Amino acid sequence: MDAVELLPFRRAIGAGIGMIMSAHIIFPAVDDSGLPATLSRRIMTGLLREELGFDGIITTDAMSMKAIADNFPGGEAEVKAVEAGVDFVLCIQSKPAHDAIVAAVKSGRIARAQVKASVLLLLAAKERLGMHENRTVDSTVALAAVGTDAHRDVALDVARKSMTLLRGEAPCLDAGKKLLAVVVRAERPTKIASHDVLATELKKHVPDARCIFIDETPDAEAADEVTRGLADADQVLFVSFARVECYKETSGGHAPMQEAVTQVLAKSGKPFTAVSFGSPYVLGRLGDAHHLLAAWYDSDVCIQAACEVCFGQTAPTGTSPVTRGLFFFKKLSRSISLSM
């Protein structure tokens, strides 16, 4: 824990971080009571306050999340969080939580001195931010300071350095040859869909690139469309935007019909590249792809960086942080499926 899990917390606290959010996870190495960290005094006070020396604001994560809401009554969970040493309780139904905390203070279950200390921390933070003088933010000023061209340049540099080629060589794609791209639509709603951003980026390199968009669970017609598209392609690309999502057991995986589509691509005998803008484990089921690129995230800068790698404009210098599961490209045969 000291060498890995606690290291970023120690460094952040040493740098003067002002607020830390708890996680609703059980950590029996520190507290074997079965309580999630948010409700554990051993963790919130014993570890964070006393051992790590954090003197800023401790806030909970959303108390409506299932780890809390499915296991503790409303109101009681918020009281337990305050008992644990939390200063700021993040909840949707604020009145029941407020009433329960007030009742706990009146009964003596929560000390008034503790509440006073938390209030002073919050008031001091508001004063530092000037909220006692102006409680609102000018959106035009915020937009001029956040998401600037300079910020995007930094993000693009980070994205380029993160591109990780798990198998094959770069460049993976040839700008002078006809390209068929089979893209699993991104489910996450954004202002501009990631799969559309990808199509635009690919056409910068191969203007007549053909993109076939399929759903997470495509039908038989999708496989037929891919087969027809292969007839006029010199090289093929399969792209997944699979992301790991809370409470969705199938997320980050690879649907059977998607596998059928990738098998069609593999059997074509044409140069076959696969890219994941999300979970790298998707690539574990693409054993027949010649090139496997982990691009990690579906942001526009990651999409740009991945295309640069595929067409040889930049080198893939990333190193995968994942060790378990990425052995597939070393010793998995086609008949073995990766299971996490």
Q: What is the CATH number of the domain that holds 43?
A: 3.20.20.300
Token pair recorded at residue 209: 């690139």
Residues 120 and 158 in one domain: no
Mean pLDDT over 234-263 rounds to 77
Residues 213 and 314 in one domain: yes
Give the HSE-up count for residue 200: Cα atoms under 13 Å, Cβ half-sphere.
10
Between CA 50 and CA 28 the distance in angstroms is 18
Residues 240 and 110 in one domain: no
Task: Give a yes or no: residue 192 inside a domain.
Answer: yes
Residues 115 and 172 in one domain: no
Mean pLDDT over 192-199 rounds to 87
Task: Give a yes or no: residue 337 inside a domain.
Answer: no
- What's residue 314's pLDDT? 96
Cβ–Cβ under 8 Å, residues 57 and 88: yes
Residues 154 and 281 in one domain: yes
Give the pLDDT confidence of 303-315 residue by residue, as tens digits.
Answer: 999 999 999 999 9
- What sign does the dihedral 264-226-214-158 (CA atoms) show? positive
Q: How confident is the model at residue 218 (pLDDT cuts 50, 70, 90)?
A: low
Q: How confident is the model at residue 188 (pLDDT cuts 50, 70, 90)?
A: low
Task: Give a yes or no: residue 86 inside a domain.
Answer: yes
Task: Give a yes or no: residue 110 inside a domain.
Answer: yes
- What's residue 99's pLDDT? 96
**In terms of DSSP bridges, do strands 272-276 and 57-59 run parallel, antiparallel, or are they unpaired?**
unpaired
Residue 325 pLDDT > 70:
no
Give the pLDDT confidence of 52-84 residue by residue, as tens digits.
Answer: 999 999 999 999 999 999 999 989 999 999 999
Q: What is the mean pLDDT of the chain?
A: 88
**In terms of DSSP bridges, do strands 164-167 and 291-294 run parallel, antiparallel, or are they unpaired?**
antiparallel
Percent of the chain residues topping a pLDDT of 70:
89
Name the residue with higher pLDDT: 148 or 257: 148
Residue 273 pLDDT > 90:
yes
Residues 43 and 178 in one domain: no
Residues 276 and 315 in one domain: yes
**Number of domains forming the structure of the chain:** 2
Range of 296's domain?
149-331
